[in-house]
């Protein structure tokens, strides 16, 4: 996935109202950027951090910038949670995720379960459909990437929906996409959301697969990089 225009360097002043952030551009101008991230953003939204913004493609949009990247301990980290589905779909189509090869079609945002939409539905004539739920990960504690960074009732519901798909004879996969490249393993943040952590263990016990990949982050774009081992 490539950014549609060159990114703009800035310095974070503060993040607020969940989806907004004030930043100072290099010319001294203070602007408000849209933030497509409802999580706590632990360790990635401290005042004074270097950030990069993308200009809005639509000149009539109220907020003319979107916060894309932040530098943490010398590494670029993606904070825009609207990108992982596209990154994953692009990688699967290119055969870059070994666990998800062999499917003929990829459909996005397909209705399933109880008032839910699956991020990616993979289909082929010779195998059961594969339901893939993609979760954005940017929290790092120690050497490990962790999810979630805040309590996620919606995430727990998705695990239950995936378990139901397995019970119906389908394949179900939980794909954690880490928008950073400085982690050596993945784990669930059980101290932040013990219900989600227990839900993932139960889902895996019922046949839901869990896989994790890091991303290569640059000022030009974001692409899938390498698999990460899952500790729990």
Q: What is the pLDDT of residues 141-185, one digit of tens each?
A: 999 999 999 999 999 999 999 999 999 999 999 999 999 999 999
Location of structure tokens 């500790």: 231
The predicted pLDDT at position 230 comes to 97
| Burial of 12 per CB tally in 10 Å (0-12, 13-18, 19+) | buried
Position 48 pLDDT exceeds 90: yes
Does the reported pTM lie above 0.85? yes
229 has a pLDDT exceeding 80: yes
* Res 232 pLDDT > 80: no
**Average pLDDT over every residue of 113-140:** 95
**pLDDT at residue 127, rounded to an integer:** 95
Note the pLDDT of residue 114: 83
Report residue 106: phi and psi, to 5°: -125, 125
- Computed from CA positions of residues 60, 76, 81, 224, in that sequence, does the dihedral angle turn out positive or negative? positive
Say whether 111 sits in a helix, a strand or coil: strand
54-99 pLDDT tens trace: 998 888 889 999 999 999 999 999 999 999 999 999 999 999 999 9
CA atoms within 13 A on the CB side of 36: 15
pLDDT of residue 30: 97
Continuous segment of H or E residues that includes residue 163: helix 153-167
The DSSP annotation for 63-101 comes to S-EEEEEEEETTEEEE--TTSHHHHHHHHHHTT--GGG-
Average pLDDT over residues 123-135: 97
Under the banding of pLDDT at 50, 70 and 90, the label for residue 18 is: confident
* CB neighbours of residue 156 within 10 Å: 19
Domains recognised in the chain with CATH numbers: 8-78 (2.40.50.580), 84-227 (3.40.1350.60)
Distance CA 78, CA 219 (A): 10
């Amino acid at each position: 996935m490539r950014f549609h225009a060159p990114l703009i360097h800035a310095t974070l002043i503060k993040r607020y109202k969940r989806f907004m952030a004030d930043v100072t551009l290099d010319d001294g101008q203070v602007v408000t950027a849209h933030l497509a991230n409802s999580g706590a953003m632990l360790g990635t939204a401290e005042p004074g951090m270097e950030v990069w913004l993308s200009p809005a493609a639509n000149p009539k949009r109220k907020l003319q910038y979107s916060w894309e990247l932040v530098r943490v301990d010398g590494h670029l980290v993606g904070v825009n949670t609207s990108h992982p589905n596209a990154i994953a779909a692009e990688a699967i189509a290119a055969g870059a995720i070994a666990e998800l090869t062999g499917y003929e079609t990829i459909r996005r945002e397909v209705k399933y379960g109880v008032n839910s939409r699956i991020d990616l539905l993979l289909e082929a004539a010779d195998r059961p459909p594969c339901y893939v739920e993609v979760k954005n990960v940017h929290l790092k504690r120690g050497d490990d990437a962790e999810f979630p960074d805040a309590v996620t009732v919606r995430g727990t519901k998705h695990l239950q929906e995936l378990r139901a798909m397995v019970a119906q004879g389908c394949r179900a996969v939980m794909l954690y996409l880490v928008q950073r490249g400085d982690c050596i393993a993945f784990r669930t943040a059980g101290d932040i959301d013990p219900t989600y952590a227990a839900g993932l263990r139960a889902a895996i016990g019922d046949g839901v697969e869990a896989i994790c990949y890091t991303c290569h982050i640059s000022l030009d774009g974001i692409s899938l990089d390498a698999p990460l081992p899952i500790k729990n």
